[in-house]
Amino acid sequence: MSISDLPSSASRRQLLQAGAAGLAVLAAPAIVRAQAAPKIRVGFWPVAAGLPFFAAVERGFFKDAGLDVEPQKFAGAQQVMEAMLAGRCDGSANGTGSANLAIGEIAQPGLFKIFCTNPSNAKFVLDEFIVAKDSPIKAMAELSGKKVASGPGIQNVTLCKTMLERAGAKGVSVSELPIGQHVAALVAGQVDACYTLEPTGTVGRMNGTTRVLEAGVVARYILGDPMAPWHGGAASLTTEFLKKNPDAAKKYIAAYARGVELVRSQPDEARQYMKGYTAIEGKLTAEVPLASYMLYNEFKPSDVAYFQKFYDLFTEKGIFEKKVLVDGLLYKA
């Protein structure tokens, strides 16, 4: 399945199949479900890609399933993974860096299973390089010798440095900076460009201070095709939670799938649920581009292959101390 196919009738059937897995366990009376349901602590990073999770919380999809879900906000994807490793968090929402999760897998094999990713590319934009609106820089190669800020964490920094190299930019000074500070850093002239994630580019465009130099950069420079699906973020549950609470896990994934369906079928309706979870509100809500989403039962071999190519970069760069196989990390119903 290519990313541009979503949503298709086939993917809708698969979405319904994912949801159907949890229907049987919804049959019990509400009071029984509430008493039996464990608290599910889900870590999220405040980026637009987490929308299905935010929508599922705010629309009451988890409550409808008799679940007690506790959203936990973290400054970066690395912190989400660390909380999962420490047993303080039972899973991650979409938008959590897939490579950050893989580092946790290396540290503790069998840590989690991915049940939904948020693939992005030149059409479904999440990743981009931005510069000040009046910057003379017109192409990535012109960042040679410049100062570039990257989103925090090893996934963002590794991708940023690699993409600059492959775009022909040499001698670039790359520093980590929280994405919420990227626009201000460009306005203040502290950096010449930023590798960032939405909604940053839209924020800068709407307030007239920054512009997008190039979007969908990971698909182009890392995967080799601007329209390839970059599975940069993932929703997951720890295997410990899955084993201890199989019924609750099925219900959680089914309710999460309802959030995905809402974003796919009613994106304008879903957008409002970014408020409170991200810095997105007001007019920005209608403008920020949305990522696509792929549930565990929608993956085709080509999707797994692109995901694997992304992971292999981190092995090649020595960030992963060993090869991480994507197929083994995907949730199997």
Q: Give the integer Cα–Cα distance in Å for 298 and 312.
A: 22
Q: What is the pLDDT of residues 196-218, one digit of tens each?
A: 998 899 999 999 999 999 999 99
- Residue 330's pLDDT is what? 98
Spatial CB neighbours of 68, under 8 Å, sequence gap ≥ 6: 34, 37, 38, 39, 40, 62
In angstroms, the CA 242 to CA 238 distance is 6
- 82 to 173, 236, 313: CA distances (angstroms): 27, 14, 22
Whether the bond into 289 is cis, omega within 30 of 0: no
Whole-structure pTM value: 0.84
Q: Which residues contact 235 (CB under 8 A, 6 or more apart)?
A: 52, 53, 91, 92, 93, 94, 96, 114, 115, 116, 117, 118, 256
The 10s digit of each residue's pLDDT in 269-313 is 999 999 999 888 888 899 988 889 999 999 999 999 999 999 999
Instruction: Give me the phi and psi of 170, to 5 degrees please.
Output: -115, 150
> What percentage of the chain carries pLDDT values higher than 70?
89
| Mean pLDDT estimate for the chain | 90
Query: Nearest CA to 218 among 150, 147, 135?
Result: 150
Mean pLDDT over 106-114 rounds to: 97
